[in-house]
Amino acid sequence: MHRIDTPTAVKDKFGPGKNGFTDGNIRTGRHATWLNSAMWDALQEEICGVIEKAGIKLNKEEHDQLYKAILLLVGGAINEEALLIKNNLSDVEDSDEAVENLGLKPTVDKAKNAVQRDGDTMTGELKIRGVNALRIFNEAFGLIFRRSEECLHLIPTRENQGESGDIGPLRPFTLNLRTGRITMGHGLDVTEDVFAGRFAINSSNGTWIQMRDNNVIFGKNRINTDAAQALLRQDHADRKYFLAGLGNEQFGIYMINNSRTDNGTDGQAYMDDAGNWRCGRQVIPSDYGNFDARYQTKTGGVQNFQYTSEVFYNPGGNEHSRTFRAPSGCVLSGINVQDTGRNSADNIGGVYYKQAQIYINGAWRSVSG
């Protein structure tokens, strides 16, 4: 393509080197600009070239082919190079480079590693600087994790203030961050095993009767009448031992064999409801010193008693009055009365007696005195 350069062209009409056209002027004798074949050839080829470049076949009956060609060529360039609104930036070839060119890379990097509001998994620490750090809530209640100086508290809100209410009056759990000591201010219910290196109860001093209300290990274990309940149990290979009681009747130490199938105990030593100490079997001390000082020993006590065979004493006649006493250690066991056949007292024909004997330390001994 080129600008008009015939002798009748208006030189530099649109600036240096930019010639133009004129209609001429009859009065002044100026000729109108005439066109040569070179100008028309250039104009024709420029226009037709655009139409054919767009893939349109030339048709002299159609007068909008240049317009169609421009739409096709420009639209194709837009589709290939430009970002279309309908694609919502999905046609960006290098999204990372685009983000960096927009200066958004630091923001995007943080967003990629951000914890999602609908749930996520974290591998690092969640650091919250403040007094009330975390709240778990529903409409009725909220639980606030609160740091107060050297302590961490778990504090409930008041009822029906779960989402936005302040801390309530309860202090159920406190952790001293300096010492590690945990304080629970409103009791603790445990349903599984508890293992402790040391266990202590803050009780108090007082009178005997005040012990009924002092702090103790098992103060809440109220037992039903006639129901058995164990406070302590120790498991052995073949049996178990208990510190237990039978409601309103007895309390003491019991043994139950693992082989037992019916209700009951296999050994017991307990105090009954009358204050008596009862034992189901023998009391066998390893040192009899206190027993020997108070009670007669088995070897020194009478273990059995018997009489020997009966002995008869015959006075020999009734001519004279006489007195008979049973020998030492003997007792009278009978008397022989004889009828004289006269109207007088009957005759004593003799008496029977037996020797009393006692069994001591493996031998029978005759009683004397």
Reported as a single tens digit per residue, the pLDDT across 307-352 is: 999 999 998 877 778 888 999 999 999 999 888 777 766 788 899 9
Q: What is the C-alpha separation between 224 and 228, in angstroms, rounded?
A: 8
Domain endpoint, select from 146, 166, 183: 183
pLDDT at position 313 = 92
pLDDT at position 154 = 94
Length of the chain: 369
What H or E segment, with its residue span, contains residue 51?
helix 37-53
Is the pLDDT confidence value at 192 over 70?
yes
Q: Is residue 173 domain-shared with residue 232, that is, in the same domain?
A: no
Nearest to 151 by CA among 182, 120, 130, 172: 182
pLDDT at position 89 = 75
Minimum mean pLDDT among 27-31, 151-155, 285-289, 329-333: which range?
A: 285-289
Confidence category of residue 201, pLDDT binned at 50, 70, 90: confident
The total number of structural domains in the chain stands at 3
Residue 351 lies in a domain: yes
Nearest to 109 by CA among 124, 98, 94, 99: 99
Residue 53 lies in a domain: no
Q: Give the mean pLDDT of 92-97.
A: 80
156 burial (CB, 10 Å; 0-12 / 13-18 / 19+) is buried
pLDDT at position 363 = 93
Residue 101 lies in a domain: no
E strands in 217-301? 228-235, 239-246, 250-257, 267-272, 277-279
Q: Is residue 315 domain-shared with residue 253, that is, in the same domain?
A: no
Domain containing 145: what range? 132-183
Is the pLDDT confidence value at 90 over 90?
no
Domain endpoint, select from 228, 262, 279: 279
- With contact defined as beta carbons under 8 Å apart, do 326 and 332 qualify? yes
CA 241, distance to chain mean position in Å, is 29
Q: What is the C-alpha separation between 140 and 161, in angstroms, rounded?
A: 6
The DSSP symbol for 353 reads E
Q: Is residue 175 domain-shared with residue 220, that is, in the same domain?
A: no
Reported as a single tens digit per residue, the pLDDT across 263-311 is: 999 999 999 999 999 999 998 888 888 877 777 777 888 899 999 999 9
Q: What is the C-alpha separation between 162 and 181, in angstroms, rounded?
A: 28
Confidence category of residue 262, pLDDT binned at 50, 70, 90: very high
Is the pLDDT confidence value at 7 over 60?
yes
The first and second tokens of residue 120, run together, are 């996520």
Residue 89 lies in a domain: no
pLDDT at position 79 = 61
The pair phi, psi for residue 209, each rounded to 5°, is: -70, -25
pLDDT at position 78 = 59
Confidence category of residue 243, pLDDT binned at 50, 70, 90: very high
pLDDT at position 337 = 87
Q: Is residue 179 domain-shared with residue 213, that is, in the same domain?
A: no
Q: What is the C-alpha separation between 359 and 368, in angstroms, rounded?
A: 14
Residue 52 lies in a domain: no
Is the pLDDT confidence value at 4 over 70?
yes
Nearest to 142 by CA among 174, 170, 167, 105: 167
Residue 1 lies in a domain: no
Q: How many CB atoms lie within 10 A of CB 123?
A: 5
Q: How many CB atoms lie within 10 A of CB 151?
A: 16
Reported as a single tens digit per residue, the pLDDT across 158-182 is: 999 999 999 999 999 999 999 999 9
Nearest to 32 by CA among 7, 8, 11: 8
Q: Is residue 248 domain-shared with residue 309, that is, in the same domain?
A: no
Residue 213 lies in a domain: yes
- With contact defined as beta carbons under 8 Å apart, do 8 and 34 qualify? yes
Reported as a single tens digit per residue, the pLDDT across 33-62 is: 888 888 888 889 999 999 998 899 999 999
CA 242, distance to chain mean position in Å, is 28
pLDDT at position 99 = 82
Q: Is residue 176 domain-shared with residue 221, that is, in the same domain?
A: no
Crossing angle, helix 37-53 and helix 65-81, to 10 degrees? Answer: 50
Q: Is residue 178 domain-shared with residue 216, that is, in the same domain?
A: no
The DSSP symbol for 181 reads -
Q: Which residues pair with 155 in a beta bridge?
A: 144
pLDDT at position 229 = 93
Q: What is the C-alpha separation between 140 and 162, in angstroms, rounded?
A: 5
Compute CA distances 74 → 44, 64, 144, whole Å.
Answer: 21, 15, 63
Q: What percent of the chain has pLDDT over 90?
A: 46
Domain endpoint, select from 263, 279, 295: 279
The first and second tokens of residue 245, run together, are 């009681």
Residue 93 lies in a domain: no
E strands in the chain? 132-137, 142-148, 151-156, 173-176, 182-183, 228-235, 239-246, 250-257, 267-272, 277-279, 302-307, 311-313, 330-338, 347-360, 363-366
Q: What is the C-alpha separation between 237 and 263, in angstroms, rounded?
A: 20
